[in-house]
Structure formats: C-alpha cells, structure tokens
Structure 1
C-alpha cells in the first residue's frame, strides 16, 4: 500500500473512532457552552449600552429614534475600528455583520488554540506510551500514521467549528432582522474559513507536542507552555517600540497573523494564510523527525 492510501485509511479509521467516542460530544458541548456564554455576555452588554444611551437621550429630550440610531451607528463604527485596527477595507467588508458576531469570533479565536490542545493532546502520545502504535507502524509508514492522525483531528475540528459558527450566525440572524440570509451565508463561510486557517497550525503544534512525549499529560502541559510562549512573544513584540529588537518577536508567533484573516483583500488574506501554512508545515515536519527517531 503506498503512502497516500495508507494515510487515507488511517485518516478514515481515526476519524470514525473519534466521532463515535464520547470525547467528540464533550468537546462539542464545551465549545458550544463557551461560545454561548460569550454570546450572552456580549449581547447583554450591548443591550445595556443601548438602554443607557436611550435613557440619556430621553432625559436630554433630543432627537428620539433618529438620534439613537445615529449614536448606535457611531458606536458600531468605533467597535469595528477597534477590532480591525481601523482598517477601512475591513470595516467596509464587515459593515453588515452584527457586532456580537465579531466580538464572539475574536474572543473564541483567542481561546481556540487551548481547545485544540485539549482535543488532540494524546493523538500520538496516547499510543506511543503503551506502545500500541507499533501495530500501526509495522503495517504503514510512520509518516502515514502521523498525517492520518493529524488529518483526523483537523477534520473533526472543521466540523465542530462549523456547527458552532452556524449556531452563532443563526442567533445573529434572529436578533438582527437587517442581517439578511445572503449576507449571513457569505460571512458564515468567510468566518469559518478564517477559523480553520487559523487553527490548522495549532493542530500541527498539538501533533508535534504529542509526538515529543510518551505521557499524554506531559504533552498537554508542554502544549499549553508553547501556547503561552507564543502569546507572550506576540504581546511583547506589539508592546515594544519598532526600534527595539524585541519588536521582531511577534513575527515568530502564529497569533500575530490572525488580524488579516477576515480581510477582503486577497493579498492580505493570502499572506496570513501562507504564514499559517508555513507554521503548520514546520510543526508537522518537526513531528515527523521526532516520530522517525523515536523507538516505538
């Protein structure tokens, strides 16, 4: 059996096993509860702000609904400007998307790497530790085993993210009558694609961490350490001035490139996508070198 067929067979078997396991439902429940909590909090804050603005306008006796609508639009533009770093093209492209969706997307994107780590920290270490992986490696190449397990986790994540994004957009459609079906469908595809491009590099990182250690618990802890290191590099790189050499640290963190994943410009989106593809390739290659050198 050649490498491609081996990869497809392992991919399919691992995906079926993952879907049938209780973990898939637990992960879906965890992700959905977190997204629902964020959505409810953001929606509550938005309604409180609108109520406070309307109360102030009523006290001042100004403009009624027209003034309220104008202030709400100005606040919306301010929030969009903050979320998009005042990028005019992105503000125009996201003009039809409810602010609640953007805030939920930004917040969940921050926690998505941790979710990915919880999802697949034992994809290799869970079998390397008890040495059950040797039953696979005597029948298939180690590269096929590695890619099959990586694709299995990526496929399950793809489905889970689509389910949650669909639920968020349906809520936004119900809560915002002006958010039409065509705009909802187009932006759902855009947001889902952005989340997948963003998360694939972290799936590859999880694969690497799982290949490095025999104990799943150690793989999980090391994965979280790596996520913190990448977050710290991005934060420090953004905080220091451009004259500092530490400014270049942000380019070594995957999270730095998330800003343009919703950009309407093909060049900007393509640059971010290429960066995440490069990180994913690097992590997978390191995982393969580790697995190839390991005594299974």
Structure 2
C-alpha cells in the first residue's frame, strides 16, 4: 500500500493500482456541488486474492466506513500494533482514524459504505438523525455478528446507493439514496443500541444526550428552552444550569447554533433559495432569518453562500460550524 490512498494488491505490482476502494469495480462517489465526495459505496465480489484498503490514507482517513461482511467471509482491521479479526456474517462500523488497514481475505464477499462526518445530514431525514448521532459518537470499532439475512438486506441497500451514485442525474436519485442510507444507519443503530449498556438514568451525560437528540429532531420547529425542558421532564433553570456547567453554553445558544449550522449547510448545497431555507427552518420572515444568520456568522445568507462557493473554487476548505464538544 502506498501513501496516496491508492489500493495495491498483495503482489505489490504498480500496474494493478486501483483508485479509491478495490474490488470488482470502483467505488462510486457523490459530492455536493464543488465539494468533496460525501458518500461512497461498493459491492465487493468474491476474489481469488486477498485485498487491502488503507483507512489511514489522506483520502480515506476522514470517513466513517460501514463494512457488511457476508457469511464465510473473513477480514482483519489493524492499526497501532493491534489487529481485530472479523468473520461473517457481521456488520462493522469503523469510525474515522480508528484503524490503518482493512484486509479482506481471498474469497470473501462484502459491501462497503463510506460517509463523510458532517455531510450525512444532506441525505438522512430528521427522524434518522438521532440514530446517526449516537453512532457518530463511537470512537472504537463496532463489530457485531448478525444473521445472514440482515447482511443481505444491508448489502442490497449499499448496492442501491452505489447504483444511484453512478447515475445521479436520474429522477429520484437523491430520494432513493436517502431512503437506502436511512435503512443502513437505522439497522446498524438498532443493533448498536441493543448491544450498549444503558447509562445511569438521570446522569448529566444522559440528559444532555437526550437534549441533543431532541434538538436534532426539532431544531426546525422554533421551540423555546422551556419547551425542551418540558420534553426532558425538568425545569428550564435546571437545563440552563446543566448546559452552562457541562458545555459552557446556554441552552438557547445551543439551539441557535444548531439552526445556524443547518442554515449554513443548506446554503452551501446551493439548491434552495434563502426564502425556502428560512421557511424550512421555521422562520416566517425572511428578513428576520437574514438578521439572525448575520448575527451568528457575521455575514448575510447570500454573502455566505457566495464566499463558500469561492473558497471551493479555489480549493480551500469550507468554514466549520460543529458540535464536537457535545457528549
């Protein structure tokens, strides 16, 4: 394996390099306009040679990978002197930078889905966001043995995503991708949730996690702090004290920042007008939305969109708005 993110088979012959992910075909990818690829998917057919993916390369390192390993298949994930052996049927969630290599044994059929953190919300409906957020917080490899039928079902979803990525101009491509990606995430999350030990009820981390999930589900509804506190079964004062102590931010600041983040994401996508984005986020007045966005970013929505487009054309990274310090 070289350091460029290209794949080299075990023979090490340069003439057999494959771009991206190896297998019977190349990984199709979908990228937002002018931006980096956000999703990749591939069905990996059985092959007489072992194959390797570099998860630590510059191209692969930022991505989450979901490996779908069929019955009879075998793989290894290695990094930092440690190797995890995998056998099918299994579903494996690989967070960014959790490993250096993924080795698939000869004769092992599989499917591989990759997601760029921060871009998944372009494809998942709000109802699936809490599931993804729970998985997004995972820092280690999640390898779960499953029934063969579940592996087949997830592989079919990955195959459907790959098909739509290969022909993104087809009618309904984005909607089909959204539906299939939602199925992949929810199916794995259900396994992950069942396999996880519950946190102590009423702990600060558990309450903040519930608040985050509620915020992801309802940020576009313009709810007040008191509304969220009621849904959490506590007083607004307690929620304020908890957020201020643990996150160094008030609940209203967290709510507003989530709305700003979503607005920026939709502006970057470039497919909706400022008015449409304002209404989708619960603002009845476009002018008020523009003032709100300017207050938090220093720029009007239209100016933000133009600046992001200019940065992408010049090859520079986008401005970052994230919630990395949430529990």
TM over 0.5: no
TM-score, length-normalised on structure 2? 0.23
Normalised TM-score (structure 1): 0.25
Counting strand residues as a fraction of each chain, which structure ranks higher?
2
Higher helix share: 1
* Greater relative contact order structure (CA < 8 Å, 6+ sep): 1
